[in-house]
Amino acid sequence: MRPRRAAVFSLHTSPLEQPGTGDAGGMNVYIAQTAKRLAEFGTEVEIFTRATSSDIPPIAELAPGVLVRNVFAGPFEGLDKNDLPSQLCAFAAGALRVEARHEPGHYDIVHSHYWLSGQVGWLARERWGVPLVHTAHTLAKVKNANLAVGDSPEPRIRVLGEEQVVAEADMLVANTEFEAADLINRYAADPEAVATIPPGVDLDRFTPGDRAVARADLDLPPDAVVLAFVGRIQPLKAPDVLLRATAKLLARHPDIRDRLVVLVVGGPSGSGLERPRALQELAAQLGIADVVRFVPPRSGAALTNVYRAADIVAVPSYNESFGLVALEAQACGTPVVAAAVGGLPVAVEDGVSGLLVDGHGTAQWADALASMVLDPRFRARLAENAAAHAARFSWERTTEALLDAYARAKMAFHAQLHVQEVTA
């Protein structure tokens, strides 16, 4: 039986925020897209997030059957993600108060996203007597093992918090088999409690389309070779790797300089907020400021033209639990060059829909870019396969698999209750 109503916790970022800057990224897209599908399949969703403005009402409708509840927990402004462990109690109190206003059994399941929400989900599970499903999105131990140069490691309290949530959740959702292995090997998760569910892509929105129209929208020359980076600008996402490789490519092939454009779409995030102009400064230092164009974050609909305008989308991240941008670009028929890390080897089919690069060395990245930029036939072959690869993923499939995971979580929860009753 499908749950009637799910409580979804997204403490540190709201699905109503614009992704691509600050704390809003793939997780926001994931939650909004799956919540809409859950509601369409008959499970209402209430998403609890921390209120960050006095302007927003306590309850907003995201889509039919999907509510966003803005919970008061700490000041609206001035707290960053690292401060939020101090607000877990306030947030939990707010969520419990909402539930207490309803008949018992209002929520059948709790689904928490990111470890901060997992902590609150753990309490809700105990209080409401319903199963907890948790999606980590990123894991501190994995992130710390793949840090960008100069990036600060995730704190120990996050590692501890994640370990607790992994131990308490009835079901853990991993984006890929790689993430499932990390949960099992690095966090001692019970393999039976891990469901591998690939994220999706909106195949109605992200479709191949008219490149000339897309280029006109972005004021790009029709004959340019366009490389694009799309996402939150921070060291972990490694947009600097693309800029360094572009500079090397141009040093080797100065003849293409007039035709090459690098688009960087997104806003500062994470430790990137400490030096929001670092990338512009790097472009100037590398002598490629004339080639690089910075574009503020765009809505998903407007991003379509970025993907369609680009010849190649680069995803050079040091760590990526999946990489929705890679799928969106391919769905628009654009091949991707990506670092062979995290979930990107699943998101990109190496040599078929794009290229995977081992490591982040400038020379390796310049080689990969050169092979695609200088060989239009190779690029066209990858482009032809890109949309077909992306079509293997969809939010409908993700949501159906989530419903299966909810059912498994329910069985695990009741089995545990039974053991507790027998041993009491």
The answer to whether residue 22 forms part of the interface with ligand UDP (CB under 6 A) is no
Nearer to ligand UDP, 146 or 164 (CB): 146
113 is annotated as contributing to ligand binding: no
| Shortest reach from residue 236's CB to ligand UDP, in Å | 8
The answer to whether residue 232 forms part of the interface with ligand UDP (CB under 6 A) is yes
328 is annotated as contributing to ligand binding: yes
The answer to whether residue 36 forms part of the interface with ligand UDP (CB under 6 A) is no
**Among 300, 378, 385, 408, which residue sits at the site for ligand UDP (rule: CB under 6 A)?**
300
**Among 6, 11, 29, 263, which residue sits at the site for ligand UDP (rule: CB under 6 A)?**
29
398 is annotated as contributing to ligand binding: no
**Among 15, 20, 235, 333, which residue sits at the site for ligand UDP (rule: CB under 6 A)?**
20
Sign, CA dihedral 25-31-37-40, equals negative
Contact 399, 37 (CB under 8 A): yes
| CA nearest to 38, candidates 393, 401, 300, 408 | 401
DSSP assignments along 122-159, one per residue? HHHHHHHT--EEEE-SS-HHHHHHTPPTTPPPPPHHHH
**Nearest-angstrom CA–CA distance, 310 and 291:** 14
Give the helix/strand (H/E) hosting 5: strand 5-9
DSSP assignments along 267-311, one per residue? -B-GGGGGSTTHHHHHHHHTT-TTTEEEE----HHHHHHHHHH-S
Nearer to ligand UDP, 87 or 319 (CB): 319
List Cβ neighbours of 102 (8 Å cut-off, separation of 6 or more). none
Contact 369, 227 (CB under 8 A): yes
The answer to whether residue 23 forms part of the interface with ligand UDP (CB under 6 A) is no
Contact 238, 339 (CB under 8 A): yes
The answer to whether residue 342 forms part of the interface with ligand UDP (CB under 6 A) is no
18 is annotated as contributing to ligand binding: yes
40 is annotated as contributing to ligand binding: no
207 is annotated as contributing to ligand binding: no
**Nearest-angstrom CA–CA distance, 351 and 335:** 10
Instruction: List residues forming the annotated binding site for 1D-myo-inositol 3-phosphate.
Output: 12, 23-28, 81, 114, 138, 158
Binding-site residues from annotation for Mg(2+) = 307-308, 310, 334
Binding-site annotation: residue ranges for UDP-N-acetyl-alpha-D-glucosamine: 18-19, 26, 232, 237, 298, 320, 328
Contact positions vs ligand UDP (CB under 6 A): 19-20, 25-27, 29, 230-232, 265-266, 297-298, 300, 303, 322-325, 328
